[in-house]
Chain A
Amino acid sequence: MSMNSPKNALWHNFFKPKDDWVEDTANKCAENLLFKGFSPNVIRWFAAKMHPREYDAGETIFHAGDEGAGAVLLRSGTIAIRSKGVELATIKPGDMFGEVALVDGQARTADAVAIEACELVFLLRTDLDDWANSQPKHACKLLKNLGAMLAGRLLESNKNISKHSTEDHPK
């Protein structure tokens, strides 16, 4: 398709999917560390490959111990991350969680439950594999960002652990 073709042409819109969620997802992805350094066109193209889902309040997105198929980006609503009934974090729109599953089929480490009705998109490992096959340079950049993201989380966890251990055993 030519880039100069009029967007209101009948043949252009005939099979065009509803893309309101794509725009919203692309905007939220652009603010996320995972997509740092990507042009808006690439982000929009990749957002269109994601999988939108809607969850009711109280519905579980995944359980701890489930094998993860990919990461989740929250578009609207609120999600609680819980472990053994204890709330660990609250996910707000624009946040991404469960991204460890993008690396391999590791089990989920906590439960994710919708506190209120929410809209989210799944970024699956298989999409990333397809992308790595077709656009290895972009996929490589995304994996670097993912590495930085996971390293950040690890540092944060280490800080929390050392803070708690200092509180428990003061010098």
Chain B
Amino acid sequence: MITEAGYLALVLALALSFALTLFPFYGSLKRQMEPVLLARPLAVLMFIATAFSFYALSYAFYTNDFSVMYVANNSNSLLPWYYRLTAVWGSHEGSMLMWLLMLSAWTALVALLARSLPLILQGRILGVMGLVCIGFYAFVLLMSNPFERSLPFYPVDGRDLNPLLQDFGMIIHPPLLYMGYVGYAVPFAFAIAALLSGRFDANWARWARPWALAAWMFLTLGIMLGSWWAYNELGWGGWWFWDPVENASFMPWLVGTALLHTLSVTEKRGTFKSWTVLLAISAFALSLLGAFLVRSGVLVSVHSFASDPARGLYLLAFLLVVVGGSLTLYALKMQSVRSQARYQLFSREVLLWGNNIFLLTATLVVFLGTIYPLVHKELGLGSISIGEPFFNSIFHILAIPFALLLGLGPWVRWKQQPVTPLVKPFAFIAVVTAVISLGWVSLYQSFTANLALLGLLLGVWVMTSSVAEIGQKLRSFGGAVGLKKLTLSHWGMVFGHLGFAVLVIGVAMTKTFSVEKDVRMKIGDTVKLNEYSFVLSDVYALKGPNYLGQAAELEVYDEGIKITHLHAEKRFYPVSRATMTEAAVDASLTRDLYVALGEELPGPSWALRVYVKPYVRWIWLGGVLMALGALLALFDRRYRQRSIAE
């Protein structure tokens, strides 16, 4: 029963999304307020209907209703209840329903939080959201209905959830990522509403910016969590694989980052308007493109859902309407919009141009790397694949000018910046950067020009400049009282930049100094990786409740000083005849140590796998700091004020 109710709720939500599109546009066309006023309650109702529908599917999973095909295909009665619930978004249909839940949640949030906006603008924004909703609701109802029943012949029990998906990371990774993807519908709706009205003032940018920040925050966390999950669950060592689906999430992130920066220019200087609008459209277009690539089967990846050309065709048609339509509108309307502001060559505006150029070059590289194999094949030139070395080498090069500009940017004023006042602080920053990074790298190696040194120089440069900039601000405000005067969005910027610096250092150090070794050891033997000596102190037999096995005890020394003890096990489960390796991991801020116990060899000796991964945690720490920066900026007071003109 509740399953059918869930389906009906979804149909109702589709009807509501039609109403949400029609009423406000009709009202804004006829200059009548009543239809526009309907938009807000419609948006909230649509969310409630969708939430109920999502609840209904979750309920079917919770109660093991295997007459629902989607449940039978993705869950079974032996799964613990929390994995049954997360199985809701474990496959195509359910994840689309979650996509709808997020989309309607954003729409309702806009309806509730954007009340200070002029009514017509509100109506248009919600109308565009409604239009996007129509496309997705119809897609789910027509092509991916998760509520389909297999009556009268339903299975007694379901299939197993992919074991890789039975993990905490899987519980929150897709929802966060979807929140980010779908979140870009809001800046997109703002951009289209502004194109329709032809008004792009500072207020518009100020209203749109918190939404761009929120979407970016979720996307950042989602990507980071995916990377962390891959590292933990999909085999040790890898944290980014340049897989097409990872790239599909990375592209909106890069464009979204560019958008955050140009929105601040549009907000504070009233310029870069056409560029900002294009970025807002592109960020959402790339989210949609990502959905298309993943769900149509055009690109093959470990993440791909089962492919279906009909679904692909629908999504492509939708992409054409939404993106093609908005780019046409853009081309027609944007011609007449003029930016008035003037600025000199050395100004924050120009530096932010630089930021955008590098971010978009990076996007283009990822885009071409992802789509080129497809184009190549369709041109009849044969199958090729583009792998890690291509992306890595280009990103190493792009990072250099990007980080250098990033260190400079916050110091430079709008309009025009005289060079002389910056010479002294930057001489100081350069010296501090050189001293710290050379000192840092000398802990690990002699002074050779390699990735580690480059990463440290760039990371420390950004850090020093960010910290010094805060110091300089405080001095100009007159000491510690200045702390209160610094806006939250300024702190947000600082955290975002520090996060980037931490990430760069993490990537460079991990890539340079990671060591992986397979060794054969007797009791008492020592193996040395980097500065760490692993001593195998004991191996003994284990007898668990349902398994037999062996355990190894290792002491780890750093130049004679014992730093940790590792306990690794190898278990054999006689019933399922499965061997499980319980690896020992010692994680800390500056390195992860990893030991897995292998086979017993004659001697007696044992095969062991030993990893040292310096600074790998910094990669995710950087992501968390960036997301924290976005969160701080979101709470800036000025996003809660009414429009400046009022």
Genuine A/B complex: no
**Interfacial residues, chain B to chain A (CB-CB below 8 A):** none
